[in-house]
Amino acid sequence: MRRIVKKRALEIIKNYPRSGVLVVGDVMVDHFIWGRVSRISPEAPVPVVDVQKDSVMLGGCANVLNTIYAMGGKVFVAGVIGEDDIGRGLIRQLTERRIDTAGIRTEKGRPTTLKTRIVAHGQQVVRFDHESRKPITRASADSILDYVRSLRDRIGAIVISDYSKGVVSRELVEGIQAVAAGSKIFLCVDPKSSDFGVYSGVHVITPNHYEAERAAGMEITNGDDLLKLGETLLAEFDFQALLITRGEEGMSLFERGRRTRHTHFPAQAKEVYDVTGAGDTVIGVLALSLAARANLKEATALANHAAGIVVGKVGTSTVSREELIGVL
């Protein structure tokens, strides 16, 4: 099933407000500086950007959260920030959305991850980051697990959003799996580590094709390679499902069974302006749909439609429930 019947899609979307999703991972802030270029600097061969405006928004795993929030889902978040103005601003944004911040841990000496992008004429000129990649403390990890435990009966899915900033580790993933054991909670991972052993045994993992190739140690050059790669990753790391996002080639879903089942979903975008945050949109809508009792193919079809909308926007963007209904 590469497409979803509209009636069934609307039933799933109608369940979004009653569906809870916890997002765990690297909380960030995205800062966009917008301007135009009309000359080259006399000091160095670089463009001079005449700044018109700037905007600050949720990024990283907080952008996954924003996607679920925009879809009307009940969303919770757990992560780590620093004792700084950026972190306090992030908490303020969450509070304004009436999102519980009890799962956010503050660490002394650690900056809140900030990515600043300068965009001129719709094109990104440069990006600079303030961040720490060192592992979070044991106390922070234990606090996150306590928060996961407190939500066990209120959520239908957990998204582990890994940006390699020190929050997600094998121990944290195993701790989350232990909390969710015996429940109907779907564990969904957006990976960054090329060692997929960190995420072994989760329900569904959503790498892009480059991440999948690195993890499998093989290159996708044709359909046979793709099938072999999917079967290899499912078998080696005990995932129930693998969803590979492939840009303009769409998405490929592999599900475990007696035999690996593969379903291809063609790309839905009419025009691509910016792929920033597209992976966040995919896993956010996928997890919310699973929490709303969609099956994997239905959830993937809805995530594919949402991704087709978000890549048509510039900057870290979200898709609203109304926009998703509109493209069905």
Q: Work out the end-to-end distance of the chain between its first and last CA atoms, rounded to an integer number of angstroms.
A: 15
Please tell me the distance from the alpha carbon of residue 56 to that of residue 114, in angstroms, as a whole number.
Answer: 10
Q: Is 58 exposed, middle or buried, given 0-12, 13-18 or 19+ CB atoms closer than 10 A?
A: buried
Structure-model confidence comparison of residues 8 and 249, the more confident one: 8
pTM of the model: 0.91
Specify the pLDDT at position 122: 79
In the sheet with 27-40, reading across from the earlier edge strand, the strands are: 47-60, 27-40, 113-120, 123-130
DSSP summary character for residue 276: T
CATH architecture of 6-34+45-327: 3-Layer(aba) Sandwich (3.40)
- What would the pLDDT profile of 73-88 be if each residue is shown by its tens digit? 999 999 999 999 999 9
Nearest to 199 by CA among 190, 186, 209: 190
**Catalytic site residues?**
280
Specify the pLDDT at position 110: 95
- What would the pLDDT profile of 30-50 be if each residue is shown by its tens digit? 999 999 998 999 999 989 999
Altogether, the residues listed in the chain come to a count of 328
Please tell me the distance from the alpha carbon of residue 108 to that of residue 63, in angstroms, as a whole number.
Answer: 24
Specify the pLDDT at position 257: 78
Specify the pLDDT at position 104: 97
Please tell me the distance from the alpha carbon of residue 71 to that of residue 190, in angstroms, as a whole number.
Answer: 19
What is the DSSP secondary-structure string of 159-196?
EEE--SSSS--HHHHHHHHHHHTTS-PEEEEE---S-G
The amino acid that residue 222 corresponds to is N
Q: Quickly state the pLDDT bin for 274 (edges 50, 70, 90).
A: very low
Residue 6 vs residues 9, 162, 188: alpha-carbon distances, Å: 5, 32, 25
Per the structure block, which two tokens stand in for 73?
């889902």
DSSP summary character for residue 27: E
Q: Domain coordinates of the chain in residue numbers?
A: 6-34+45-327
pLDDT at residue 275 is higher than 90? no
Contacts of 323 (CB under 8 A, 6+ apart): 309
Alpha helices in 42-169 (DSSP H): 61-70, 85-96, 138-150
